[in-house]
Structure formats: structure tokens, C-alpha cells
């Protein structure tokens, strides 16, 4: 049986094909995607399947086998593309490691290793180097408050002591006042030594993360912002140390302290804002389990299950592994895994996916050949994509790749020219160091963290959590927005949407249906009961207020019953409906097939209404008694308020809008018909969603918005992943931004905030570069003094802080 050309799932005995599309497909959804997007992933257009990827190295040629294992580690401390290169290089140097691929955007590194040479438990320790902290991806270590301790204790205390000495003994001399102490004697040397000690603590203790980043950038040969900041801090420290031993009093230790403290404070503020925002996600829980129940009711570890084992799954529990139902029948909620909004009835012999939820009756499942869960497969797919998704090079790091070599060249030329003009080597060295000192003012170090923090802050005020900084630079270039249907465009909750009757009283039809459905725990039954109950509560409130009750869906008046819902007797629940006796009548509620034959009369109007409901992706539930169908209830999920305005806003910004869903084509038809939606892919299985997004990203910059675990790999594969927080934590884990409120209008707001933040970042960098345009020539000419350097840095930093404090986006 050949696998699906798009998603590698089995195609079955009757694969879907088309003369205009190469390959065989497992479903019409995959065929539609392949027809629309074509080949976009190499020679054959297909990415290697998950199993194949796990068997060979990422850089291996086709056919090369890697007989080891793959581990996914969470790494704290990565913050740029340079970190990725350094960790990949470090991992590659470890014995037993065949290959590694890191992503700072997702704090993930994938390691292919030989378990005979290195154990899985050893990998985190071996990769926890140079201040990075690695842990297994399934159980990442929480970040500590080490940066806060460094800043408050190391930087705050000793930095304030050093600046106090400057304010009392050195700064007055820059204004022409006589010093309080003999700065050229032993007393001055004692004072300078104290300042040197304080500055050393600030530089090497508080500034350790910055220095580490600079070291990493040099090892990886990729200049970044840390290297630029370190150049200024270390240069001013070296200059001042040399000048102190030469008996000079123009010391720049205050520049070292200011640069380190201000940049550390900016980074800490950004982290603090981000932690406050992401703290709102802490209550989301995982959906995977560690234990399962055997057919006999015994609880065992999931790792102890073998193919063919029979497991008991009770109502409300998740199917632990892919398999086949061998006993019982139940409605299975597949929305988490497949995106299908309506529950599917599964009977003996039907296949079920691991991670789906049994809702209304216990079943016994025989574990499939691989003893694997579709949900676990989605988790591995997510980690696979996240580890291979390199973070974009931030704008400030791009600037550093040009600015660092340029500044170093100017410093060398200035020192060389000074030496050529006859100055002593010590003076020439001081001129060169002065250029390096002024090249990176605090403003340049603050430009990115303060702009990002402002964006995170403003997004949080709108119920949007920014998880990855890459959002601010990626989102502005997004060409296409892919929207999941179930749980994103719709609310994903089953509810009673309407009532159709053929002469019967609509209220009686609903009440009788609810009276029988109370005996069932099927999701559709619960939706009917909840809908009728809420209508009754609303009617009671209206009557209490002296208002007449509202009309029904069909336009007939509502006959307010004198009593609550009628009592049902002799109730029998089956997998297709419910039977019972109400007020002496034999009442049947359920599937259309229950009313076939000569014993039942089904009005054509209700049959037509049922067909119309099914075509809209909803469920018709028929209600009958006395040999005739009296009415029909329509159950389904509702579209979110304002969805049309959202897609129109996205389209108005020049973005393509695509709907991608695992639901049926009928359920997606209303979106396909909207003029602002460019394309709709329906019936796409979860394994194919990520491949669909990959093909889109081959030619476009793509943002994906989704909520279910089935969306997680697609969210990670997109350039920007946006998750609804009411969805699963797997989707949240894959996302770059999370919408905390069930408010779809937050999607256009996210793009507006990121656009404003990106604009603010460029403004901040502009202020910093203006400073450099003035200060560097002054340093080269030798007219710069410590007072001007301190004042200029303070002014430029104040401008950046003030600019970042403004709201980046205001509602029109």
C-alpha cells in the first residue's frame, strides 16, 4: 500500500488520484493541496516523512542511513542566530553526536546521536556550556532569576559606588573645579583603584551574558549586538586601565559601567515584560498521558504497551494509541487531532487515532502495529519543525555585521594615523580605544530591547502574548495569512443552532428531544440539552421582566409550557439515537436512518432542511412520534462574531487569506464563497497541514492562525504561528504569538502592533547612528573628552527611552 504523496499516510485500497496531479493521495484534501500548490520542496516536491527524518542525519544524502537516535533539547540562553551556530558546532564536537540543528526562535536543538557512545541523559550536561542551559524538550527547566541577581547585586551596588566617586571627585574637574584630592598622587591612585575594582565587577560579573554572547559570535564568526556592546565596554575598560597606570585622569570606567548596566537593564526589562505576558499561559495543561488502562481495568505505563494489546477507554478519556475498536461503539471527538468539528461515531472494526476523545460510551481498542499515538506523532513533528526553523537575524545583528568591522577599521586607522604623525604609541593606542568607546552608545544597546518590550507591552494590553521576538521583524513581511476553521474562524463548540418543524409546535419538539437526550452523554445530545435549557432560562427572564417570549427559529410563535420539560420513561440509548416514552407517545430522536421504512412518514420539507444542514457542515437531528417525523434540530459550531471583518481587514492590507481545515468541504463552503478569502483547503489531515504550509512558505511569507494540536506542526512550519489560547497547549507551544481572548479581531491588531514596533526599532537605531555620526569623528580628531562622552550617551539613551515609552499602536 503506497503512502500518500503529500503527507505519507496510508492511501488505502482506493487512493485519490487525478490526471492533472502526479501521485496518489489518502484523501481529497491532500489531492486539492497538491493540485493548487504543486511541487515546492525540491525535485519531487515532497519533504522526507517523519520516520525517514529520524533515521538519517539532516545533512545526509538520500539513501544514507543513521542507525542512532534523535533527541530534542530545550536550551535557555539562545537569543540570536550566532547562538544557533555555536551550539551546533559544540554539539558536533561531542563524541557520539552525528549532527545537530538548533533554533533560537524556539529554544530547541535537535541532536542525532549514537546511544552506544553517549546516553540521552548525558546530552543536556554536554550542551550546557558557556552559560547555556540544556534540558530535555519534554521537561524544560524553568528560567531562574540569575540575571536579576547579577543586575541588582553585582551591577546596582558596585556600579553606584563607582559612579558616586565619579560624581564627587572626577566630574567637578571636567567643569574646571579643583579636585578635592590629589588625583596625581597616591590618594588619587587609591581612588582610581577602587573605581577599577568596582568597574571590574560590573564588567565581568554583571556583563557576563554580554561577554559570553561576544565570545560566541567570535567562535561562530558572526558579529552580533553583544560583540558591539562588548567592544565599547571592554575598550573603555582597557583604555582607562592603561591611562590609570600612565598617571592620566581622563578615565572612562563610567562608560564601561553605564554601557553594561543600561544594556543589561534594557534586556532585563524586555524579559520582565515578556514573562509577565507569557505568565498568562501558565494554566494551560498538556493533553498527553503516561498511563493507560488494560481491558481488565488494570493501570499500566504507556511504555509497557505492545502492538495488539487491548485497552479500555472510558467516556471522557483519550485514546492512548492509534488502533482499532474491537468492542463497543462510541462517539469520538477528533477535533484535537484532525480538526473535524463534529464527533464521529466509531464501531467495531473502525480505526481510531491516538489523542482523540471517547465521549459517550466505553470501548476496547486494539493497539496498532506501531503502538504509536497520532498526538505523539504530532508532538514529534512539532519538535522536528521547531529544531529546523532557524531564527531570523535580527536587525541590530545585521547592523553589527557591518558596523563592527567598520568601527574596528576606523579605530585602527585612527591609531595608525596618530602614530604616523609622531605621537607616542601609548597616545595612539588611546585614540584608537576612544573610537571604540564611543562607537556603541547605550542607545544602540537599548534600541532593540526597549522597542521590543514596548511592542510586547502594547500587544499584552490587547490580549496578545508575544512569545518570540522574531514576530516583530517577520510579521511586517507576511504575504499570506492561513486560518484554521474549527476553533479559529468558528468557536469549535457544539450547540443547538436552529429548529425546523412541519406543523408541530417547535417548543414541544425541542422539549421532547431534550427530555430523551438527557440520558445520553454524546456531544450532540449535550448540545441539545444545553440549548433547550438556555432557551428556558431566557424565557423565564423575559417573563419575569414582563416581556413576551421571542419567536422561534422557524418563525412560529413559542407556546410557553406550563411545566418544565416533560418526563421520559423507558429510555434506550443507541449509537444512532435515543428511544423513549413521553406522555404515552413513543418518541425517537436521532439519525435520519432511524425513520426509514413504512412505519414512519418523513415530510419532504424536513428532508430538504436536513440535506441543507449537512451541506453546511452541520448535524440534523430528527425528532418523531406517532409514526411521523415532527421536527428537526440543527446542531453545529458557530462562526465567530466579526470573522468577515477580520478577513476583509487582512485582505485590505494586501495579504492573501487562505482557510485550511481538516473539516469536511461542506463545513468550509461558507468561507470559500467569501470574496476576501483567496483559497480554501478542506478535509486536510493533520500530517498534511504542515506540508501545505511548507509549500506556501516556499514562495510566500506565511502566518498561520490555529488552535488545535493538529495545527501545531503547521504553526511551527509557518514564518509566524499564531495560536488561540483556548486551544491546546501543544498549539500554544508551537506559536510565536498567542491570542488570550476568543477575539479574532486580535489578528489584524497583532500585525498593526508589530508594524508599529518595527518602525519604533528603526527610529531608535536612527537616533543611535546620529550619535555615532557626531561622536566618532570627534574621537578620531582627538577633541572628545569624558564629560562629552557621558553627556552624549545620556542624551541619546534618554531619546531612545522616551521614544520607546510611547504607545506603538493606537486604535484608529
Q: Mean pLDDT for each consecutive 10-residue tract of the chain (812 residues)? A: 68 71 73 64 38 37 54 73 76 84 71 83 81 66 52 76 85 74 76 92 88 80 78 84 81 84 75 56 40 79 80 82 86 65 78 79 82 55 48 60 81 87 80 74 67 79 76 82 85 84 89 89 85 64 39 38 63 86 90 85 89 84 91 87 89 90 79 88 80 85 79 80 66 71 84 86 80 78 65 73 71 48
Angle at the Cα of 674 from the Cα atoms of 669 and 678, rounded to 5 degrees: 95
Q: How far apart are CA 486 and CA 417, in angstroms?
A: 69
Given a contact cutoff of 8 angstroms between Cβ atoms, the answer to whether 162 and 202 are in contact is: yes
Residues near 72 by Cβ (< 8 Å), separated by ≥ 6?
A: 108, 109, 110, 111, 136, 137, 138, 380, 383, 384, 386, 387
Given a contact cutoff of 8 angstroms between Cβ atoms, the answer to whether 343 and 524 are in contact is: yes
Given a contact cutoff of 8 angstroms between Cβ atoms, the answer to whether 265 and 453 are in contact is: no
**Helix (H, G, I), strand (E, B), or coil: what is residue 511?**
helix
Q: How far apart are CA 550 and CA 552, in angstroms?
A: 7
Quick one: cell of 157? 551596588
* Residue among 79, 394, 436 nearest 228 (CA): 436
* Residue among 246, 417, 420 nearest 781 (CA): 417
Q: For residue 556, what pLDDT is reported? A: 34
Rg (CA), the chain: 33
Alpha carbon distance, N-terminus to C-terminus of the chain? 57
What is the enclosing helix (H) or strand (E) of 517?
helix 506-517
DSSP 154: I
Residues near 667 by Cβ (< 8 Å), separated by ≥ 6?
A: 341, 342, 485, 616, 617, 618, 636, 661, 682
Distances from the Cα of 716 to the Cα of 39, 290, 378, 437, 709, angstroms: 20, 25, 11, 41, 11
Distances from the Cα of 71 to the Cα of 74, 128, 164, 751, angstroms: 10, 15, 51, 35
**Helix (H, G, I), strand (E, B), or coil: what is residue 135?**
strand
Q: How far apart are CA 517 and CA 580, in angstroms?
A: 10
For the whole prediction, is pTM greater than 0.75? no
Quick one: cell of 65? 542511513
**Helix (H, G, I), strand (E, B), or coil: what is residue 25?**
strand
Residue 714: left (phi > 0), alpha (psi -120 to 50), or beta?
Answer: alpha
Q: For residue 631, what pLDDT is reported? A: 93
Q: In this structure, is the dihedral angle defined by the CA atoms of residues 518, 580, 506 and 630, taken in order, positive or negative?
A: positive
Q: How far apart are CA 749 and CA 461, in angstroms?
A: 11
Bridge partners (DSSP) listed for residue 435: none
Residues with active-site annotation:
484
Secondary structure string (H, E, C) spanning 643-686 = HHHHHHHHHHCCCEEEEECCCCCCCCHHHHCCCCCCEEECCCCH
DSSP 331: E
Given a contact cutoff of 8 angstroms between Cβ atoms, the answer to whether 455 and 472 are in contact is: yes
Q: How far apart are CA 299 and CA 712, in angstroms?
A: 29
Residues near 272 by Cβ (< 8 Å), separated by ≥ 6?
A: none
Angle at the Cα of 562 from the Cα atoms of 559 and 567, rounded to 5 degrees: 100
Q: For residue 407, what pLDDT is reported? A: 81
Rounded to the nearest 10 degrees, how much is the dihedral formed by the CA atoms of 504, 508, 512, 513?
Answer: 70
Bridge partners (DSSP) listed for residue 325: 365
* Residue among 438, 407, 434 nearest 240 (CA): 434
Q: In this structure, is the dihedral angle defined by the CA atoms of residues 662, 666, 669 and 672, taken in order, positive or negative?
A: positive
Q: For residue 146, what pLDDT is reported? A: 55
Q: For residue 53, what pLDDT is reported? A: 32
Q: For residue 554, what pLDDT is reported? A: 40
Q: For residue 579, what pLDDT is reported? A: 92
Angle at the Cα of 71 from the Cα atoms of 68 and 72, rounded to 5 degrees: 155
Bridge partners (DSSP) listed for residue 332: 344, 358
Q: For residue 195, what pLDDT is reported? A: 92
Amino acid at each position: 500500500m503506497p503512502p500518500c504523496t503529500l503527507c505519507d499516510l496510508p492511501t488505502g485500497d482506493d487512493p485519490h488520484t487525478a490526471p492533472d496531479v502526479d501521485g496518489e493521495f489518502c484523501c481529497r484534501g491532500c489531492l486539492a493541496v497538491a493540485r493548487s500548490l504543486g511541487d515546492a520542496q525540491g525535485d519531487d516536491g515532497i519533504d522526507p516523512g517523519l520516520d525517514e527524518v529520524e533515521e538519517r542525519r539532516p545533512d545526509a544524502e538520500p539513501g544514507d542511513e543513521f542507525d542512532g537516535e534523535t533527541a530534542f533539547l530545550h536550551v535557555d540562553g539562545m537569543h540570536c542566530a550566532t547562538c544557533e551556530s555555536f551550539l551546533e558546532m559544540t554539539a558536533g564536537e561531542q563524541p557520539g553526536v552525528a549532527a545537530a540543528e538548533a533554533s533560537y526562535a524556539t529554544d530547541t536543538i535537535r541532536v542525532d546521536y549514537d546511544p552506544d557512545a553517549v546516553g540521552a541523559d548525558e546530552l543536556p550536561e554536554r550542551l550546557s556550556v558557556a552559560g547555556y542551559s540544556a534540558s530535555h524538550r519534554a521537561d524544560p527547566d524553568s528560567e531562574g532569576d540569575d540575571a536579576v541577581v547579577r543586575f541588582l547585586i553585582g551591577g546596582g551596588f558596585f556600579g553606584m559606588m563607582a559612579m558616586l566617586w565619579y560624581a564627587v571627585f572626577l566630574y567637578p574637574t571636567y567643569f574646571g573645579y579643583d579636585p578635592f584630592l590629589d588625583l596625581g598622587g597616591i590618594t588619587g591612585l587609591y581612588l582610581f583603584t577602587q573605581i577599577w575594582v568596582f568597574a571590574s565587577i560590573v564588567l565581568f560579573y554583571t556583563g557576563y551574558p554580554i561577554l559570553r554572547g561576544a565570545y560566541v559570535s567570535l567562535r561562530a564568526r558572526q558579529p552580533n549586538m553583544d560583540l558591539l556592546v562588548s567592544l565599547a565596554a571592554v575598550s573603555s575598560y582597557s583604555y582607562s586601565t592603561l591611562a590609570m597606570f600612565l598617571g592620566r585622569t581622563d578615565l572612562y570606567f563610567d562608560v564601561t559601567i553605564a554601557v553594561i548596566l543600561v544594556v543589561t537593564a534594557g534586556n532585563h526589562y524586555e524579559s520582565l515584560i515578556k514573562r509577565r505576558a507569557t505568565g498568562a499561559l501558565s494554566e494551560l495543561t498538556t493533553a498527553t498521558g503516561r498511563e493507560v488502562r488494560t481491558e481488565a481495568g488494570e493501570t499500566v505505563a504507556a511504555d509497557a504497551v505492545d502492538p495488539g494489546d487491548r485497552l479500555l477507554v472510558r467516556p471522557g478519556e483519550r485514546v492512548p494509541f492509534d488502533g482499532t475498536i474491537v468492542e463497543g461503539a462510541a462517539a469520538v471527538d477528533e477535533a484535537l487531532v484532525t480538526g473535524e468539528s463534529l464527533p464521529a461515531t466509531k464501531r467495531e472494526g473502525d480505526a481510531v487515532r491516538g489523542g482523540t476523545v471517547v465521549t459517550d460510551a466505553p470501548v476496547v481498542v486494539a493497539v496498532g502495529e506501531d503502538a504509536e499515538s497520532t498526538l505523539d506523532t504530532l508532538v514529534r513533528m512539532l519538535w522536528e519543525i521547531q529544531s529546523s526553523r532557524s531564527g531570523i537575524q535580527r536587525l541590530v545583528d545585521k547592523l553589527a555585521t557591518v558596523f563592527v568591522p567598520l568601527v574596528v577599521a576606523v579605530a585602527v586607522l585612527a591609531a595608525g594615523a596618530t602614530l604616523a604623525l609622531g605621537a607616542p604609541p601609548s597616545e595612539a593606542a588611546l585614540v584608537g580605544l576612544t573610537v571604540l568607546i564611543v562607537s556603541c552608545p547605550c542607545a544602540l544597546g537599548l534600541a532593540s530591547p526597549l522597542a521590543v518590550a514596548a511592542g510586547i507591552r502594547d500587544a499584552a494590553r490587547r490580549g496578545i502574548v508575544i512569545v518570540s521576538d522574531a514576530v516583530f521583524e517577520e510579521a511586517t513581511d507576511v504575504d499570506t495569512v492561513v486560518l484554521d476553521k474549527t476553533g479559529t474562524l468558528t468557536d469549535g463548540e457544539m450547540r443547538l443552532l436552529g429548529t425546523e418543524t412541519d406543523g408541530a409546535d417547535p417548543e414541544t419538539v425541542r422539549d421532547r428531544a431534550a427530555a430523551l437526550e438527557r440520558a445520553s452523554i454524546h456531544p450532540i445530545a449535550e448540545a441539545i440539552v444545553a440549548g433547550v435549557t438556555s432557551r428556558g432560562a431566557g424565557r423565564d427572564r423575559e417573563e419575569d421582566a414582563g416581556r413576551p417570549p421571542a419567536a422561534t427559529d422557524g418563525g412560529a410563535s413559542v407556546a410557553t409550557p406550563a411545566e418544565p420539560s416533560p418526563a421520559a420513561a423507558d429510555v434506550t440509548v443507541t449509537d444512532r439515537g435515543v428511544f423513549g416514552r413521553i406522555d404515552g407517545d413513543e418518541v425517537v430522536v436521532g439519525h435520519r436512518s432511524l425513520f426509514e421504512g413504512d412505519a414512519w412518514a418523513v415530510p419532504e420539507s424536513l428532508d430538504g432542511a436536513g440535506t441543507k444542514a449537512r451541506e453546511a457542515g452541520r448535524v440534523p437531528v430528527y425528532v418523531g412520534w406517532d409514526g411521523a417525523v415532527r421536527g428537526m434540530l440543527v446542531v453545529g459550531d458557530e462562526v465567530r462574531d466579526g470573522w468577515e471583518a477580520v478577513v476583509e481587514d487582512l485582505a485590505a492590507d494586501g495579504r492573501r487569506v487562505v482557510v485550511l481545515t481538516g473539516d469536511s468541504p461542506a463545513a468550509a463552503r461558507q468561507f470559500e464563497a467569501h470574496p476576501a478569502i483567496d483559497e480554501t483547503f478542506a478535509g486536510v489531515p493533520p500530517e498534511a497541514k504542515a506540508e501545505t504550509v511548507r509549500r506556501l512558505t516556499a514562495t510566500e511569507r506565511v502566518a498561520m492562525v490555529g488552535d488545535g494540536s493538529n495545527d501545531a506542526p503547521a504553526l511551527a512550519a509557518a514564518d509566524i504561528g499564531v495560536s488561540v489560547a483556548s486551544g491546546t497547549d501543544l498549539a500554544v507551544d508551537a506559536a510565536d504569538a498567542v491570542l488570550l481572548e476568543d477575539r479574532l479581531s486580535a489578528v489584524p491588531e497583532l500585525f498593526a502592533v508589530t508594524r508599529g514596533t518595527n518602525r519604533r526599532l528603526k527610529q531608535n537605531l536612527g537616533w543611535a547612528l546620529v550619535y555615532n555620526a557626531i561622536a566618532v569623528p570627534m574621537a578620531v580628531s582627538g577633541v572628545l573628552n569624558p564629560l562629552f562622552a557621558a553627556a552624549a550617551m545620556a542624551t541619546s539613551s534618554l531619546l531612545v527611552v522616551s521614544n520607546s515609552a510611547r504607545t506603538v499602536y493606537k486604535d484608529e
